[in-house]
A and B are shown apart, each in its own frame.
Chain A
Amino acid sequence: MPELVKFKLNDKELTAEKGTLLIEAARQNGVEIPAFCYYPGLSLQAACRMCLVDIEKRPKLATACTEPVMEGMVVWSDNEKIHTARKTTLEFLLTNHPLDCPVCDKGGECELQDMVFRYGAGGSRFVEEKLHVPEQKWSPVVYYDAPRCILCYRCIRICNEGMGVGALGLNYRGVNSEIVPNKGDHLECEECGMCIDICPVGALTSGAYRYQTRPWEMTYVATPCAHCGDGCKVTLSVRNNQIMRGNNRDASGLNGEFLCIKGRYGYDFTHSAERITKPRVRKNDELVECTWTEAIAAAAAGLKAAKTHGVIGSTHTTNEENFFLQKFARQGLKTPHIDHRRSADFPALMDALAGRPATPSALATSRDVLEAPAVLLIGNNPTDQHPMLAWNIRTAVRLRKQHLYIVNRASIPLVAQAEAAKIAKAGEEIEELERFRDALAKEKDVVIIFGSEVKGADITKLVAFGDTLPGHTRYIALADNANSRGAVDMGVLPDLGPGYQPAAQAGMALDEMLAGNLEAFLIVGANPARRYLIQAGKAFVVVQDMFLTETAQIADVLLPSAGPYEKGGTVTNTYGEVQRQKLGLLVNGAKTDLEILSLIARAMGFDLGAANAATQSNEVFEEIRRSVKGYNIAAAALWTGSAVPAVTLNGAVPHRDRPDLIASSNDTLFTSGTLGRYCSALSAVAEAKERKNPEGIGK
């Protein structure tokens, strides 16, 4: 039990845990002490003087953000002295602050506005001319307006401590003080925009959003990010069916404060000029636009005429869509040949852990990473491939003294946070673990996280190693995309159906399908032509996609699909946490993959249920909850925005090992597979050109 102390705040007797900062102790008891520079989780700065309180027997006012609460302390946060102090502090902050709130991006959601409204004086004694300096463009996505800056150091601290980048500093002094970027007049950094989100005023603004709209003109939709497998929640600010901004408005997701550049700026594919919004069919060897009726009929006829079919699913579409797709394949087309691009060996992991109890689970969630006393990371470069994971690890090392052990083929940025790191030759990662055995044996509980380098039989060996550790060992396999895990859980595999149950009849894997003589393909939200040679003309190819990808170009029927921000449904991140995707906006002409599939199903006379376009994703989800092992999850929690772990540890998983098919696409912070090519914000930043994952990662 933590020790409690008694103290008095505004004449009320209260208690708090010993050592709690006064500002937090007050907050816990429902009293707000205003603050600018104080930010939970960051180092203390005491720069703004907004949090002043009156402590008994102290001659001067004290900063509540640095004062630990003590037994018997008598504190006032609400008396005449404090009111005057706050008014003066705000008057000072406003001496050079331009009163341009009517055009400032932050107007309406600005902490300075709110503070002045609540605590400020009615007038100002400052009649001198304000010091003005021009705004600065630090990168295509980060702008700085020095006159609006209140010098709270939040941006500097989030970049130093949270991001571990250290790209911001404070230069000059007094009235001339301003925030400076690391390259003099521009930034060289991760371009995450965390500094913009954390800025209490409109000093740091987003290149994608500035001077576009007012906060109260938009609606806000919190939904999982479309890109990597971490599943951050991003808030889309939408006006007139257009995404104006991506940010982390309420920090209510499993990502806490965090978003990387992809979550924050990588929504622009939605409005890309390259979106296809009209169906096309091939006529005289050319894809020509047509009506939906014609395209669906052509797809149905072509698929019906073929005797053998291959079906390829997506790592970006929803669980409902992938579940329906495998049903379409197995029950509709009656083909066993279904697969997707794999980047983590989930079946091998579930098999190795078969028979373990649901609680405490042997699978770790993203929150477990934050709380684990020790993490063993094998392979992967989370800083680029799983930015939120890297953020969680940095946070845990910084705030909870987590011990990080790394085995990798190259040195990765997280080595800076590591207790110990070893370079291993490709394929020798597991043997290399022996060197950590003694250290790991002293740790309480270890979370073992591994990239696509560890697969097949290595996973069995890894679990055997984990079993020898004394504590409760938990595992995380890292897969590339927003719903890579969901694709596996929903049975978009040739050997496994939904819930890791053996398929009634085993089919061909992706490479075998594409090399074989199948007569027709149905490819949904995937771009296999990027890696494999698909011989156009040989087979009948139906493609559902947002863009004219390499695969879409060889289609016989091309059906324009809706993007992840344009539909409901659920997705499962690489940690197995299921989240609800929310409809943010509609793009004219596109239909969701689920709707397209049910239209084709109906045209082919399949009875696969879920025909009503408006409610079908909910209906399919209910079917998933009823029938997929591990997915009978609490719908209420899901519906109110929580991330709910699926319970995918069941019996043994008899699967066909194909380690050669498991590979990461090694995305950097500025790439995102095929989807990333249509995000202009990602390629606009200068760092995008140089950024590479170290040699040997993710193979």
Chain B
Amino acid sequence: MTFSAPLEKRFARMLQSYPQKRSALVPMLMYAQDEVGSLTDEVIAEIADRLGVTVLQVNEVIGYYSMMHKKPLGQYHVQVYTNISCMLRGGFKVWDHARKTLGIGHKQVDADGRFSLEEVECIGSCCWAPAMQVNYDYHHNVTPESFDRVINELKKGGGQ
């Protein structure tokens, strides 16, 4: 398979950047996931082939990282943080609110494929806890109210 022209260019550059080709595995998976929507069997086989590793080895890496997905996520992937700092500052309140508002649970996608939800550990934003991340955007000091504002904004078509 081939990826979009800009991504192919990026991959070509990456393959030159490391003493061992396989070092490009994680970034390649992330970029491919962003473009294709998820890490399909086809994507996995292609990347394994390009890097000279086995499909099994690629799967080992995907299984290890929670940010890599083999099934498509929603258009907006909402991640709510509940590790210690977030928990102490109301992370669970946000998490409960998120499930109720979006009508979906941990690692689920809503019916029209717009939102998916995931409870996660830590993004290093403890000083502004509780934190939340939508795709690549960070949101700090989240409350149920600010959560609603963000979601409504997205429903109107904002965000990346």
Contact = CB atoms under 8 A, between A and B. Distances in A.
B88 interface: no
Nearest to B66: A173
Interface string B51-68: 000111101100110000
A182 B63 contact: no
Nearest to B65: A173
A558 B109 CA distance: 71
A513 interface: no
A79 B56 CA distance: 42
B54 A180 contact: no
A419 to B, nearest CB: 19
B64 A167 contact: no
A168 B55 CA distance: 11
B64 A180 contact: no
Contacts of A171: 59-60, 63-64
Greatest chain A CB density within 10 A among B54, B56, B60, B63 is at B56
B54 A170 contact: no
Contacts of B56: 166-169, 180, 182
Contacts of A173: 63-64
Nearest to A178: B63
Q: Which interface class (under 10, 10 to 19, 20 to 34, 35 or more) fits B?
A: under 10
B20 to A, nearest CB: 16
Interface in A170-195: 170-173, 180, 182
Interface string A201-228: 0000000000000000000000000000
Nearest to B63: A171
Nearest to A168: B56
A173 B62 CA distance: 11
Q: Which interface class (under 10, 10 to 19, 20 to 34, 35 or more) fits A?
A: 10 to 19
Interface in A137-179: 166-173
Greatest chain B CB density within 10 A among A166, A167, A169, A172 is at A169
B145 to A, nearest CB: 34
Given A169-B59, A171-B59, A182 B64 contact: no
Contacts of A168: 56
Greatest chain B CB density within 10 A among A168, A170, A171, A180 is at A171
Contacts, number: 25
Contacts of B63: 171-173, 180
Contacts of B64: 171-173
B60 A170 contact: yes
Nearest to B58: A169
A173 B65 CA distance: 8
A182 B58 CA distance: 11
Nearest to B53: A166
A172 B61 CA distance: 8
A434 B55 CA distance: 39
A618 to B, nearest CB: 51
A422 B59 CA distance: 35
Nearest to B55: A182
Contacts of A170: 60
A506 B71 CA distance: 74
Contacts of A182: 54-56
Contacts of B55: 182
B35 to A, nearest CB: 24
Nearest to A172: B63
A512 B57 CA distance: 56
Contacts of A169: 54, 56-57, 59-60
Nearest to B41: A184
Interface string B11-55: 000000000000000000000000000000000000000000011
A180 B60 CA distance: 9
A589 to B, nearest CB: 48
A564 to B, nearest CB: 37
B65 to A, nearest CB: 9
A167 B63 CA distance: 16
A481 B57 CA distance: 37
Nearest to B64: A173
B22 to A, nearest CB: 14
A553 to B, nearest CB: 47
Contacts of A180: 56, 59-60, 63
A169 B59 CA distance: 9
A180 B54 CA distance: 13
A168 B56 CA distance: 8
Interface in A22-78: none
A169 B56 CA distance: 6
A141 to B, nearest CB: 19
Contacts of B60: 169-171, 180
A334 B63 CA distance: 72
Nearest to A170: B60
Contacts of A172: 63-64
A581 to B, nearest CB: 40
Contacts of A167: 56
A171 B55 CA distance: 12
A397 B14 CA distance: 32
A565 B63 CA distance: 46
Nearest to A167: B56
A172 B63 CA distance: 4
A172 B54 CA distance: 17
A238 to B, nearest CB: 37
A166 B58 CA distance: 13
B61 to A, nearest CB: 9
B101 to A, nearest CB: 29
Interface in B48-104: 54-57, 59-60, 63-64
A171 B65 CA distance: 10
Contacts of B57: 169
Interface in A379-404: none
B69 to A, nearest CB: 14
5 contacts: A166-B54, A169-B57, A171-B60, A171-B63, A182-B56
Complex A-B, nearest 3 residue pairs according to Cβ-Cβ distance, in ascending order: A171-B63, A169-B56, A169-B60
Given A171-B60, A172-B63, 8 more contacts: A167-B56, A169-B59, A171-B63, A171-B64, A172-B64, A173-B63, A180-B59, A180-B63
Interface of B: 54-57, 59-60, 63-64
Interface of A: 166-173, 180, 182
